């Protein structure tokens, strides 16, 4: 593929990859969306579609960015390469090929900054934390000093994997681009993103995007890093508020009840489980229940018909983003509760 063609494909990356909603374009961004886009482009290297897809709901966009930034980009005790290893491992477990492609490429460029045994150890840790049973057995436990950054990275990618599976194409290529273009495009994309990944970022500069909020009990793993804890507290509050607007109370109650006993086991491959679960909901809430449960437990199974049925009952891009974001973060927060760390 010629360099001119690669440049053309890179120029088409981003918002054209987003499905089911119409994200805000950079030139049209105003207010909170413009603030977030500015930070993302400066500190992430590009306006990543995984972030921009949230833009129909400015509060959820801000929440998704500030939790990601203060966890992954800000490196206090854990190097960025280790976090990219966690991101890649979690994404593999969640069957999220888009995130695997991006973060494994970032990892390959940063791995020289961390010894191989360290990368192997953090990769094994992240894989073992996919289920509660394996997490409890893993030795050694995550060191307390590193827990906020390592567990936070796992939690935020459990969130992003679900949103990406629902709203992005399988690979980081615009629709219609040949899959043979993936390798050269990813090489150029990584070169663009790597300088930003190697920078040192000041903690807390994204916090002002959202108002202060108390930390919920399921964020106990974040204790020890006040800024990171505050980022998640603000982000969780914003997504919870969005869920209150866009997810019926009966659905929120059902999803939280299902998550309470969930230990990371896969649902499916049949979808009989979700149909059985929503059968007890009011008829008007069943499309929302189906979408929320699939997003939380099997995001790779969400299809166009699930989106269409939800939209028929609850139209609007913001509503769709808020409902799926709430379900994604509820599942991600549940994962954070079962990952042990040493005292």
Q: How is 162-177 classified by DSSP, letter by letter? A: HHHHHHB-SSSS-TT-
Q: What's the CA gap between 334 and 308, in Å, rounded?
A: 28
73 contact partners, CB below 8 Å, separation of at least 6:
43, 44, 80, 201
Do 196 and 261 reside in the same domain of the chain?
no
Q: Which pLDDT value is given to residue 177?
A: 64
Whether the CB-CB separation of 65 and 39 falls below 8 Å is answered with yes
Do 186 and 244 reside in the same domain of the chain?
no
Residue 100: give the domain boundaries.
3-238
- CA-nearest of 205, 182, 247, 185 to 35 is 205
Do 232 and 249 reside in the same domain of the chain?
no
Q: Tokens 């499916």 belong to which residue?
A: 268
Whether 343 maps to a domain, the answer reads: no
- Residues of the chain with confidence (pLDDT) below 70: 1-14, 105-115, 171-197, 343
Do 196 and 324 reside in the same domain of the chain?
no
Q: Which pLDDT value is given to residue 173?
A: 64
Do 91 and 171 reside in the same domain of the chain?
yes
3-state SS class at 303: coil
Residue 40 tokens, joined: 């993302």
Q: Which pLDDT value is given to residue 204?
A: 96
As a whole number of angstroms, the longest Cα–Cα distance in the chain is 56
Whether 120 maps to a domain, the answer reads: yes
Q: What's the CA gap between 168 and 20, in Å, rounded?
A: 9
- Residue 89's CB is within 10 A of a number of other CB atoms, namely 25
- Residue 183's CB is within 10 A of a number of other CB atoms, namely 11
Mark which of 238, 269, 301 sits at the end of a domain. Answer: 238
Do 212 and 244 reside in the same domain of the chain?
no
Do 7 and 63 reside in the same domain of the chain?
yes
pTM (2 d.p.): 0.91
Mark which of 238, 273, 306 sits at the end of a domain. Answer: 238
Whether 69 maps to a domain, the answer reads: yes
Do 138 and 148 reside in the same domain of the chain?
yes
Q: State the total domains in the chain.
A: 2
Do 273 and 182 reside in the same domain of the chain?
no
Q: Which pLDDT value is given to residue 181?
A: 62
The dihedral formed by the CA atoms of 172, 175, 176 and 179, expressed in degrees to the nearest 10: 20
Q: What's the CA gap between 123 and 120, in Å, rounded?
A: 5
Whether 342 maps to a domain, the answer reads: no
Cα–chain-centroid distance for residue 11? 23
Mark which of 194, 211, 238 sits at the end of a domain. Answer: 238
Do 151 and 223 reside in the same domain of the chain?
yes
Q: What percent of the chain has pLDDT over 90?
A: 62
76 contact partners, CB below 8 Å, separation of at least 6:
149, 203, 225
Instruction: Using alpha carbons, list the distances in angstroms from residue 79 to 92, 126, 153, 269, 328.
Output: 21, 15, 12, 37, 26
Residue 246, phi then psi, degrees to nearest 5: -115, -10
pLDDT digits (tens, 9 = 90+) for 181-201: 666 666 666 666 666 667 788
Do 213 and 81 reside in the same domain of the chain?
yes
Q: Which pLDDT value is given to residue 73?
A: 93
Q: Which pLDDT value is given to residue 11?
A: 46
Do 215 and 86 reside in the same domain of the chain?
yes
Whether 134 maps to a domain, the answer reads: yes
């Amino acid at each position: 593929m010629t360099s001119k063609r690669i440049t053309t494909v890179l120029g088409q990356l981003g918002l054209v990859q987003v499905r089911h909603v119409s994200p805000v374009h950079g030139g049209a961004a105003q207010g909170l969306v413009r603030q977030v886009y500015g930070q993302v482009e400066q500190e992430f290297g590009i306006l990543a579609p995984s972030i921009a897809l949230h833009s129909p709901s400015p509060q959820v966009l801000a929440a998704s960015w500030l939790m990601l930034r203060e966890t992954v980009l800000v490196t206090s005790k854990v190097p960025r390469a280790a976090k990219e290893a966690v991101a890649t491992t979690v994404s593999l477990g969640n069957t999220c090929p888009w995130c695997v492609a991006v973060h494994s490429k970032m990892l390959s460029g940063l791995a020289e900054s961390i010894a191989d045994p360290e990368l192997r150890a953090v990769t094994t840790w992240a894989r073992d934390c996919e289920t509660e049973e394996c997490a409890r057995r893993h030795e050694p436990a995550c060191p307390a000093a590193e827990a906020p950054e390592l567990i936070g990275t796992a939690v935020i990618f459990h969130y992003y994997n679900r949103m990406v599976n629902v709203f992005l194409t399988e690979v980081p290529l615009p629709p219609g681009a040949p899959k043979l273009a993936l390798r050269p495009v990813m090489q150029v994309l990584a070169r663009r993103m790597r300088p930003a990944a190697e920078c040192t970022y000041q903690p807390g500069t994204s916090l002002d995007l959202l108002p202060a909020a108390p930390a919920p009990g399921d964020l106990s793993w974040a204790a020890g890093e006040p800024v990171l804890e505050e980022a998640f507290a603000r982000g969780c509050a914003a997504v919870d508020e969005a869920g209150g607007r866009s997810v019926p109370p009966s659905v929120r109650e059902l999803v939280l009840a299902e998550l309470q006993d969930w230990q990371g086991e896969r649902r499916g491959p049949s979808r009989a489980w979700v149909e059985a679960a929503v059968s007890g909901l009011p008829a008007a809430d069943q499309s929302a229940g189906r979408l929320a449960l699939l997003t939380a437990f099997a995001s790779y199974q969400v299809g166009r018909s699930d989106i269409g049925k939800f939209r028929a009952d609850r139209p609007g891009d913001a509503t769709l983003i808020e409902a799926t974001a709430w379900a994604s973060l509820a599942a991600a927060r549940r994962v954070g509760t079962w990952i042990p760390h040493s005292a």
